[in-house]
């Protein structure tokens, strides 16, 4: 009965459009049409990137593409160092704030001290997935610095350590490593571009 009442509400407008939207809402995540749309989006990216095969024929763009192709070994070395440091900070921040996840606190605490909705540390570092998102988006300056706060808990030391680790991550990865990658790529480009003749 609930299904029929929802269907009637949706069918008040255009029947074919409303019905298809309604059914799409109840599809499973890996429905073949959802998967096809995702793969089609990826195929669009690959089809446009095939234009890069024409670039070596042009005088101005050819050396750039050739230099970029030869820089891939430098980029690979950088990515290994970057991932080691990234994972270290990510695991460290998650281990510092694992206790403040609401489900963990419900199982451990005898008396509830604070609700999980009030803790920004749980929201940003409660699970490995949320820790990864926070640390990843902080590379682009899109994460909040208040993410390490434990509002109602009086754990000043944990907050200070969280701020120090989070700040050290931003200094190590954002300021040092990303600028090192830019410098390494520009040096690599200059040495290879000077040897290319057209």
Helix axis angle for 178-195 and 72-97, nearest 10°, is 180
**Residue whose tokens read 């509830």:** 112
Quote the CA–CA distance of 118 and 95 in Å, as a whole number: 20
pLDDT per residue rounded down to tens, the chain (198 residues): 555 665 565 556 555 655 555 577 777 788 888 899 999 999 999 999 888 888 777 777 777 777 777 788 888 888 999 999 999 999 999 888 887 777 766 776 666 665 545 677 778 888 889 899 999 998 888 878 777 777 777 778 888 888 899 899 989 888 888 888 888 888 877 776 676 565
Determine how many CB atoms are found less than 10 A away from the CB of residue 137.
Answer: 13
Closest CA relative to residue 141, chosen from 180, 181, 178 = 178
For the full predicted model, state whether its pTM sits above 0.75: no
Quote the CA–CA distance of 148 and 20 in Å, as a whole number: 44
């Amino acid at each position: 009965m609930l299904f029929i009442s929802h269907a009637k509400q949706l069918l008040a407008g255009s029947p074919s459009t409303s019905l298809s939207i309604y059914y799409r809402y109840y599809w499973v995540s890996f429905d073949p049409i959802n998967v096809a749309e995702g793969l089609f989006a990826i195929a669009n990216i690959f089809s446009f990137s095939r234009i890069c095969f024409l670039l070596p024929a042009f005088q101005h763009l050819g050396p750039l593409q050739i230099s970029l192709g030869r820089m891939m070994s430098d980029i690979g070395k950088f990515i290994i160092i970057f991932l080691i440091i990234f994972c270290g900070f990510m695991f460290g921040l998650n281990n510092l704030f694992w206790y403040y996840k609401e489900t963990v606190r419900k199982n451990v605490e005898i008396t509830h001290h604070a609700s999980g909705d009030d803790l920004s540390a749980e929201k940003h570092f409660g699970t490995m997935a949320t820790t990864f998102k926070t640390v990843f988006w902080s590379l682009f300056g899109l994460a909040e610095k208040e993410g390490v706060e434990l509002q109602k808990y009086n754990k000043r030391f944990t907050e200070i350590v969280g701020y120090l680790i989070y700040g050290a991550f931003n200094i190590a990865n954002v300021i040092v490593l990303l600028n090192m990658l830019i410098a390494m790529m520009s040096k690599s480009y200059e040495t290879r571009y000077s040897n290319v003749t057209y």
